[in-house]
Amino acid sequence: MSTKAVIFDMDGVLIDTEPIWEEVRREYIGEMDGRWLADTQDRFMGMSTSEWSIYTSEDLLDGRRTPEQVAEDVISRMAARYADHLPLMPDAAETVRRFAGQFTLGLASSSPRRLIDVVLDHMGVADLFRTTVSTEEVERGKPAPDGYLAAAAGLGIPPGQCVAIEDSSNGLRAAYAAGMTVIAVPHPRYPPAPDALALASYIADGGLRSVTPELAASLEPVSEFR
């Protein structure tokens, strides 16, 4: 089976927002007299909105804010930060446009819908994606495959004919569990765990510049060998 579609992650792949998410959440939890645990940032990465808001409310704030309040508080702060500055990853928009010329494109992100739309509109690439999925719109966030499976379904293309481009441990696990061939673009500040990185068919240590349509087309579908 040849590659028919490419599905992008957003945070850490197209936009360098993982540091902003960490900063905003740390600041918010500190203001609420909560606690930031040693594994909190790792746990956050890949969680859907409902998952991280419940985790924050129950485990970090001891119920001082409801999950709904936490989600609204944090997403509003993130939207304000995006309005002030949107830190795109190097070559992000150019990479999307290159791939759009050869493949059907989808996006599977842990960000809420509100922020996905802001980012893609700002990049000027919203119309290049046939489908976009927020994990708040599916049952489970990453590392569960739900978001990637929903994106493939939205494209009408089997997961085994999709290549996913991911940066985080949970994102790599999610795309692989969905049956997709995975390209890893590790974030220098938040490198994936070795076991998650081992799931990738290609590791782009040089960032998006080395991730080309020709590369995606050359990768063997891993689902055929599982």
Q: Which of these, 104, 89, 79, 107, lies nearest to 171 by C-alpha position?
A: 107
Active site residue 11: yes
Active site residue 9: yes
* From 11, 16, 146, 167, the catalytic residue: 11
* From 9, 16, 146, 167, the catalytic residue: 9
Token pair 């969905």 is at which residue?
A: 178
E strands, 110-152, in order: 131-134
Amino acid at site 63: G
Peptide bond into 143 cis (omega under 30): yes
Burial call 96-130: b when 16+ CB within 10 Å, e when fewer: bebbbeebbbbbbbbbbeebbebbbeebebeebbb
Which residues are annotated as catalytic?
9, 11
